[in-house]
Structure 1
Amino acid sequence: MKENIQKLVEYTARLDGDEKGEAQVFCDRFFQAFGHNGYKEAGATLEFRVKSKKTTNFADLLWGDKVLIEMKKKGAKLKSHRTQIFDYWWKLRPSQPKYSVLCNFEEFIIYDFSLQDEPLDRIGIDELPDRYTSFNFMFPQPETPIFRNNLEEATRKTASLVAAVFNSFLERGEDRIRAQRFILQAIFTMFAEDYNLLPKDIFTQILIDCQNGNGNSYDLINGLFQQMDSKIPARGGRFKDVQYFNGGLFSIPEAIELTRDELDMLRQAASRKWSKVNPAIFGTIFQKSMGTDARHAFGAHFTSELDILKIVQPTIIQPWREKIVKAKTLKEMKSLRKALASYKVLDPACGSGNFLYVAYRELKRIEMELLDKIHIEFPKSASEIGTQSIVSIKQFHGMDYNQFAVELAKVTLMLAKEISIQETQEWINTIQTGLAFQMENTLPLDNMDDNIIFADALFIDWPKANVIIGNPPYQSKNKMVKEYGIEYMNTVWDAYPEISGNADYCVYWFYKAHQNLYNGGYAGLVGTNTVTQNYSREGSLDYIVKNDGQIFNAIASQPWSGDAVVFVSIVNWKKGNFKGKKFLYVENEKKEQVEYVVANINSSLSLEIDVTSAEILNCNKKPKMVFQGQTHGNSGFLISKKKGIEILNANPNFSEVLKPFLIGRELVASVNSQPNRFVIDFTGKDVIESATYKSLFEIVKKKVQPIREKKAIDQQEKNQAALEKNEKAKTNKHHINFYNKWWLLSYGREDMLDAISKSKRYIACSRVSARPIFEFVSSRISPNDALMVFNFQDDYTFGIIQSRIHILWYQEKCSTMKGDPRYTPNTIWDTFPFPQKPTLNQIRKVSNSALTLRLKRNEMMKRHQFTLRDIYRILEEPGNNPLKDLHTALDNAVLEAYGFNRKKDILTQLLELNLKVYSNEQESIEVQAPGLPSFVQNSNEFISEDCISFL
């Protein structure tokens, strides 16, 4: 094996190191060196597509769930490409490879982003024969890799040593608060020693001296802490070069005399490399330092860094990255920088501060990316912009009801600042723009006493923040009283009467987080997966989506990465309209996470209703009542509004074939929903009859016939060529058919025209819409294929399909893995059950509510010159809204007609009704089809006159 790897090294030395020209052959040789016949034989893929919101990138190599490899040219500074490979890895969710490797033909950097942010190892190509065990995962029979920078392992060992000292203090009767204060001061001191904030090895040497009997630990350690609290430098002695730290952490320098065992354990901890301690998971010390009862009582379990990123990435990183990419002018970038400086992050259950740590680290990186972009694109403005860091840990806030957690979180953020300063300096050294970043002052420490507070988050006002993140405490409704006591729980229930007493404890954080968000603010929380069920869902996710919240990224259920034996839901949402793609991760039958790109994520975080149980209802399909509008297929059939009116004025009888032609955009986005064009429509007429409308016929003959002839000939030639190669080849004939009837629209939808011609109006909505808006349209207006047509003219049916009940069904049935939300009759209408036993009074109530909604809506639009889209965008804004009240009244009337329980999930009840109607159909039991029930004797009572008419 070593010989094969040596051959790879020798081969690589002969390469020029061209990223594009030699990367693929290098990857193939790399696989061969580890015992494969080549990358392809191993099952790896070169140039693997990685899709983002608007673009598609290509990763150099992806080997299933094992490794992602990104090659760079020889001499490239690999660490500057960390963001790129992380983004590729992140976008491969949920089937991400374990390892990610950067290589420039001279060096490898190995990452495991699910484990830690820093590289697991860096290996020069010449070192590979002796250090190939770092790539043990590359062998056909993989072995456990041996890395030199496994931060998790180092952190756990270091945390265990410090925790052992703390536990020893408690065992011998030391005051708990004093012990905690001492340990936290010692933790930061050991960290500061490794990061050169203190004279070299000063703390370690004190411990060695005490072990050797050359001093007393009480005096020497306390003396160091005293000096770290003093603004007056020592004039001489051991502490002469110790700077002022304080930051609140050293405001009460603690003194404890250590036993020999405690000295030994603390000495071992101090001798470890604290630069390899990961503060993002250092909460382990918090976990180990607390008794089991206390930890369980407050649900203080801990998160892997990957799970933290499942919240920080969509709520913080992604929105900021999108803003930076969109910013094109210096003014826009300066505005973003200003916004960064005032950006606030809140974790209302911060524990040891791990979420805040990762959020701070990523926001600092965003700041560096923005400054880099400014200096690259606007170098002449460099002096004006400057390079001083403006993101501060003072922008981060947290609270917890465990005092030690609060103090540890303060230390975690202090560590975050010091680490970020070093990372920034390293980043400066790797980039090639000459950006001279002005570093923050490392000392004195920022005082975080006002930012991270000891408090019960359920009973205090939260500081305002742009984003709220975190991992609220877990406790089921069945165990809350036992854990917290009946008195405390009664206080909670009294304070939140709107939340069911059967809801889990974490529900209160979801509820309060949404209440405290700004409009446009983001939130991401982890909760037990009961937040998607019954009472817990009502108080959390139901409340969010009913109150201007849009869930845009969620994991329905996954095992938790902490010590708790629990399954969680991870939910990210925005208060207000979210315009991007929405991602829902749901387990399939094999318990594998599958990513769905959906139009809407409902409060159950579930796709089951959409893709499994709903049945096609015969009563909805026959007679056919829902149609797609007409597809003209050629612009030659269209003429301008002005020209059309002129023709009709001259030839009134042409109105039979020259009609206003309404499209989806005009329905929702033009004042009065007016069509701007006419369509020449000879549907149902042969060529001779069509020719009697001479001037119109000549327009079509001149503009349409030549194009259709050419396309038909082209198609015929392609078909002939295909048949010559394979006599059974499948051929296309639509262009040929269009040419054979060149005077007709491509799809005139004669059945639809025949249906709506018997009524004065029909219901229409845009075929592509996140939230369909329905309106009556005059039958004298022809609908374009961008519209869906519902052949009903009664207000009752309108009320049913404009209600939230139908909208929810639409949104669920449009939830697909890819594509835009579209109204597809076979999946939506054909499965949507109407109320089966409405009373006459209930029908009147729905009808009247629907009519009132339209009349008031039209009155508002006329008064303010709004379009339907305008007024419904305002509907999405928070606060009181008369249109919102009208919709609520309609929804309530429709719910009553269905006989649905308001406290139960609407979609579940719709599905149950769907299955019941389907079952009755199979047994030939009479069912109620869409439209007015047959027992209604006077249908005219429910048919009003309002509709969109051509003006």
Structure 2
Amino acid sequence: ACGCGNFLVVAYRELRELELQIMERLQDLTGGQTVLLDSGAGLRVSLSQFHGIEIEEWPAKIAETALFIADHQANRRMMETVGIAPDRLPLKTGAKIVRDNALGIDWSWVLQPSDNAIIVGNPPFIGLSLRSVEQTNDLKNVWGKDYHGSLDFVSGWYKKAADFIGSTQARAAFVSTSSICQGEQVAPLWGPLLNSGIRIDFAHQTFAWTSEATGKAAVHVVIVGFSRMGKTKPVLYCYEDIKGDPISMPVKSISPYLLEGPPLVVEPRSKPLSSSITEVRYGNKPTDGGHLIIEVEDHAEFMADESAAKYVRPFVGARELLHDTPRWCLWLVDLDPADYKASKLLQDRIEGVRRFRSESKAASTRDAAATARIFRQVAQPENDYLCIPQHVSERRTVFPAKRLSSAVIASNANFIADDPDGLLFSVISSSAFLAWQAAVGGKIKSDLRFSKQGVWNTFPLPLLSEMHRTQLIAAGQEIQVARAKYPNRSLAELYEPNAMPLDLIKAHSVLDRVMDAALFGRKKASDNITRLGLLFELYESMTTKKG
């Protein structure tokens, strides 16, 4: 998918410039004598070494022409610098730009695989919901039995490149959407590649890339370079500011999550890996067309209706949980027929739900019109519970969950869990869990996305001793005490990184010491990078035993 050849043009230009610098230096060393690097054309770098595949005819033609222009410009500079340049007229040799579907063509027909082959590109970023039927079929054909519906379109180029590399020492690198190294895509993409012997040679962690196209849309991308068994010394490029410059860091190995770590993937699980924690589940899903939800402007009207007011409950999505935004819902699981008959408000809202569900294209939703008074999916606990937002800002230094009364209804924008003693609250409030979440969880742009199967169920918490369990619960209770001192602050305000109350910071520090001891024993984990390395070791150990 070489498009108009931007990557090829830049690569050709830079290689010619390097070659010219060598010629200049040799000229200096020989007292001004022009030294040709090749006894024939005088150059080692030629257009015939450059190849591309592009599905559209016009961009393919532009790529060919752009490379001729780049060659002409390089030759002019060579003449100005060393006094000699090749004569290209008439044009006989050019780059090989093949007009074809890059996911359908055999790449070895374009270029024979060899140890010297280098593949670069910026393949298209197209998620599942935006792909055409033809594109999905292309991806299925490329991946075969390993196809997974979550894979981004760009993943097809990774598989094609790995197949092209084969047993050679060829290398590849792609600019890609960040999602291929986050969340549920990691296992289906990197699992087969790692199993085939592919290793990551270098990687740029997520950064903001602004296109030069009209509109200058900024996207969050990564760059991943890989080869067979990773023969080069790995280098990781980290970004303190995703809009800033990277910091290079030599590492022992790079994990598919683009962190220093072993080449392993975290496989989603239907049950928690740890026997010390219990399951989480989705919150309550209305599927109601908004008719069971009471916004601020309607609240007074419902509270003035004696029959309807009985069923008004606080309702929290992720935003309401984090920012204490007021919102309510009608919770009509135990609706009294007498109240229904007495309230026009209840009748109208229930009829609105029935009508909305009846008109749905989904058969299961149409069936739910028969129980229009209740949420489409009901998961509300009978006792106090832990509420976990699905999405939180990447700026958070703590994953901000909250214990709620059973009278507060949590929407499906949250996860919920029975947590009678507060252990789960302590686990999710620890720095170790946040490090795990940030590494293996998915993201919306750069915001953290909690998941049940990919994050919670894979968290490698060993079997807790009674002492560690008691200490964790007690540490979590101290966090609750510290929070309670600031009743007018929302979770978002309490956990503003630059304005956290000092006593809350201290309470979390105590929790982290207890959690680190429970996880790692005497091994020290002074920061999240160290914690992650130890967590991956634990994960590998625990999954090997269970396997």
Q: State the TM bucket, normalised to the shorter chain.
A: 0.5 to 0.7
Pick aligned residue for 1:906 from 523, 531, 534: 531
**Is 2:496 aligned against 1:873?**
yes
**Is 2:518 aligned against 1:897?**
yes
Question: AA paired with 1:737?
Answer: D
Identity among equivalent positions (%) equals 14
Question: AA paired with 2:353?
Answer: V
Match of 1:825 in 2: 452
Match of 1:677 in 2: 327
Match of 1:781 in 2: 408
Match of 2:427 in 1: 800
Match of 2:236 in 1: 570
Query: For the Cα contact (< 8 Å) 2:427–2:515, is it kept in 1?
Result: yes
Higher RCO (CA < 8 A, seq sep 6+): 2
Once residues 846 and 912 of structure 1 are traced to their aligned partners in structure 2, the CA distance between those partners, rounded to angstroms, is 22
**Is 2:98 aligned against 1:134?**
no
Residue deviations 1:468-521, cap 9 Å, x none? xxxxxxxxxxxxxxxxxxxxxxxxxxxxxxxxxxxxxxxxxxxxxxxxxxxxxx
Once residues 512 and 72 of structure 2 are traced to their aligned partners in structure 1, the CA distance between those partners, rounded to angstroms, is 49
Pick aligned residue for 1:662 from 316, 337, 340: 316
Once residues 566 and 921 of structure 1 are traced to their aligned partners in structure 2, the CA distance between those partners, rounded to angstroms, is 33
Query: For the Cα contact (< 8 Å) 1:553–1:573, is it kept in 2?
Result: no
**Is 2:475 aligned against 1:845?**
no
Match of 1:763 in 2: 386
5 Å-filtered alignment, 1:581-620, equals: 602=259, 604=260, 608-611=264-267, 617=271
Query: For the Cα contact (< 8 Å) 2:472–2:511, is it kept in 1?
Result: yes
Match of 1:53 in 2: none
- SS class of match (1:765): strand
**Is 2:345 aligned against 1:708?**
no
Question: AA paired with 2:332?
Answer: F
Once residues 451 and 419 of structure 2 are traced to their aligned partners in structure 1, the CA distance between those partners, rounded to angstroms, is 18
Query: For the Cα contact (< 8 Å) 1:607–1:812, is it kept in 2?
Result: no
Once residues 876 and 653 of structure 1 are traced to their aligned partners in structure 2, the CA distance between those partners, rounded to angstroms, is 41
Query: For the Cα contact (< 8 Å) 2:476–2:511, is it kept in 1?
Result: yes
Task: Measure how far apart 1:893 and its partner are.
Answer: 1.1
RMSD, aligned CA: 5.5
Once residues 815 and 609 of structure 1 are traced to their aligned partners in structure 2, the CA distance between those partners, rounded to angstroms, is 14
Question: AA paired with 1:108?
Answer: T
Query: For the Cα contact (< 8 Å) 1:668–1:868, is it kept in 2?
Result: yes
Match of 2:364 in 1: 734
Once residues 452 and 206 of structure 2 are traced to their aligned partners in structure 1, the CA distance between those partners, rounded to angstroms, is 33
Instruction: Call closer, same or farther: CA 1:679–1:117 in 2, change over 3 Å.
Output: farther
Which structure is larger by alpha-carbon Rg, 1 or 2?
A: 1
Query: For the Cα contact (< 8 Å) 1:766–1:788, is it kept in 2?
Result: yes
- SS class of match (1:570): strand
Query: For the Cα contact (< 8 Å) 2:322–2:492, is it kept in 1?
Result: yes
Residue deviations 1:375-428, cap 9 Å, x none? xxxxxxxxxxxxxxxxxxxxxxxxxxxxxxxxxxxxxxxxxxxxxxxxxxxxxx
Query: For the Cα contact (< 8 Å) 1:795–1:847, is it kept in 2?
Result: yes
Query: For the Cα contact (< 8 Å) 1:314–1:553, is it kept in 2?
Result: yes
Task: Measure how far apart 1:767 and its partner are.
Answer: 0.8
Q: TM-score, normalised by structure 1?
A: 0.33
Residue deviations 1:701-751, cap 9 Å, x none? 443333333x24xx3xxxxxxxxxxxxxxxx4133223333333222x2xx
Query: For the Cα contact (< 8 Å) 2:269–2:453, is it kept in 1?
Result: no
**Is 2:347 aligned against 1:698?**
yes
5 Å-filtered alignment, 1:17-416, equals: 59=3, 108-110=65-67, 130-135=90-95, 318=209
Once residues 418 and 243 of structure 2 are traced to their aligned partners in structure 1, the CA distance between those partners, rounded to angstroms, is 32
Question: AA paired with 1:793?
Answer: P
Task: Measure how far apart 1:867 and its partner are.
Answer: 3.1
**Is 2:295 aligned against 1:627?**
no
- SS class of match (1:745): coil
Task: Measure how far apart 1:554 and its partner are.
Answer: 6.6
Once residues 660 and 822 of structure 1 are traced to their aligned partners in structure 2, the CA distance between those partners, rounded to angstroms, is 24
Residue deviations 1:775-824, cap 9 Å, x none? 11121110011111121032333112210122222223314799974222
Once residues 285 and 110 of structure 2 are traced to their aligned partners in structure 1, the CA distance between those partners, rounded to angstroms, is 58
Once residues 897 and 629 of structure 1 are traced to their aligned partners in structure 2, the CA distance between those partners, rounded to angstroms, is 30
**Is 2:291 aligned against 1:636?**
yes
Residue deviations 1:833-863, cap 9 Å, x none? 44413243x334323322222332443x54x
Instruction: Call closer, same or farther: CA 1:579–1:782 in 2, change over 3 Å.
Output: farther
- SS class of match (1:610): coil
5 Å-filtered alignment, 1:406-555, equals: none
Instruction: Call closer, same or farther: CA 1:785–1:739 in 2, change over 3 Å.
Output: same
Instruction: Call closer, same or farther: CA 1:652–1:695 in 2, change over 3 Å.
Output: closer
Query: For the Cα contact (< 8 Å) 2:385–2:417, is it kept in 1?
Result: yes
Once residues 853 and 845 of structure 1 are traced to their aligned partners in structure 2, the CA distance between those partners, rounded to angstroms, is 13
Task: Measure how far apart 1:620 and its partner are.
Answer: 6.5
Question: AA paired with 1:109?
Answer: A
Instruction: Call closer, same or farther: CA 1:624–1:888 in 2, change over 3 Å.
Output: closer
Instruction: Call closer, same or farther: CA 1:677–1:735 in 2, change over 3 Å.
Output: same
Show structure 2 runs of 5+ residues with no match. 11-49, 78-86, 100-108, 113-201
Task: Measure how far apart 1:622 and its partner are.
Answer: 12
Once residues 911 and 797 of structure 1 are traced to their aligned partners in structure 2, the CA distance between those partners, rounded to angstroms, is 21
Question: AA paired with 1:567?
Answer: K
- SS class of match (2:66): strand
Instruction: Call closer, same or farther: CA 1:786–1:310 in 2, change over 3 Å.
Output: closer
Once residues 857 and 651 of structure 1 are traced to their aligned partners in structure 2, the CA distance between those partners, rounded to angstroms, is 35
Question: AA paired with 2:387?
Answer: A
Q: TM-score, normalised by structure 2?
A: 0.54
Query: For the Cα contact (< 8 Å) 1:765–1:789, is it kept in 2?
Result: yes
Once residues 301 and 438 of structure 2 are traced to their aligned partners in structure 1, the CA distance between those partners, rounded to angstroms, is 43
Question: AA paired with 1:570?
Answer: L
Question: AA paired with 1:743?
Answer: R
Residue deviations 1:922-947, cap 9 Å, x none? 8xxxxxxxxxxxxxxxxxxxxxxxxx
Query: For the Cα contact (< 8 Å) 1:610–1:815, is it kept in 2?
Result: no
Query: For the Cα contact (< 8 Å) 1:704–1:743, is it kept in 2?
Result: yes
Instruction: Call closer, same or farther: CA 1:120–1:826 in 2, change over 3 Å.
Output: farther
Query: For the Cα contact (< 8 Å) 2:387–2:404, is it kept in 1?
Result: yes
Question: AA paired with 1:708?
Answer: R
Show structure 1 runs of 5+ residues with no match. 1-44, 49-58, 69-95, 144-308, 328-550, 585-590, 716-731, 923-951
Query: For the Cα contact (< 8 Å) 2:8–2:67, is it kept in 1?
Result: no
Query: For the Cα contact (< 8 Å) 1:774–1:802, is it kept in 2?
Result: yes
Residue deviations 1:91-114, cap 9 Å, x none? xxxxx966999899899231899x
Query: For the Cα contact (< 8 Å) 2:333–2:374, is it kept in 1?
Result: yes
Question: AA paired with 2:429?
Answer: Q
Query: For the Cα contact (< 8 Å) 1:767–1:823, is it kept in 2?
Result: yes
- SS class of match (2:495): helix
Once residues 684 and 894 of structure 1 are traced to their aligned partners in structure 2, the CA distance between those partners, rounded to angstroms, is 41
Task: Measure how far apart 1:138 and its partner are.
Answer: 6.1
Once residues 314 and 825 of structure 1 are traced to their aligned partners in structure 2, the CA distance between those partners, rounded to angstroms, is 23
Match of 1:856 in 2: 482
Task: Measure how far apart 1:677 and its partner are.
Answer: 2.2
Query: For the Cα contact (< 8 Å) 2:286–2:375, is it kept in 1?
Result: yes
Once residues 60 and 914 of structure 1 are traced to their aligned partners in structure 2, the CA distance between those partners, rounded to angstroms, is 44
Residue deviations 1:153-198, cap 9 Å, x none? xxxxxxxxxxxxxxxxxxxxxxxxxxxxxxxxxxxxxxxxxxxxxx
Once residues 848 and 622 of structure 1 are traced to their aligned partners in structure 2, the CA distance between those partners, rounded to angstroms, is 16
Match of 1:886 in 2: 507
Question: AA paired with 1:853?
Answer: I
Instruction: Call closer, same or farther: CA 1:872–1:920 in 2, change over 3 Å.
Output: same
- SS class of match (2:92): helix
Instruction: Call closer, same or farther: CA 1:128–1:894 in 2, change over 3 Å.
Output: same
Query: For the Cα contact (< 8 Å) 1:552–1:573, is it kept in 2?
Result: no
Question: AA paired with 1:636?
Answer: H
Query: For the Cα contact (< 8 Å) 1:804–1:891, is it kept in 2?
Result: yes
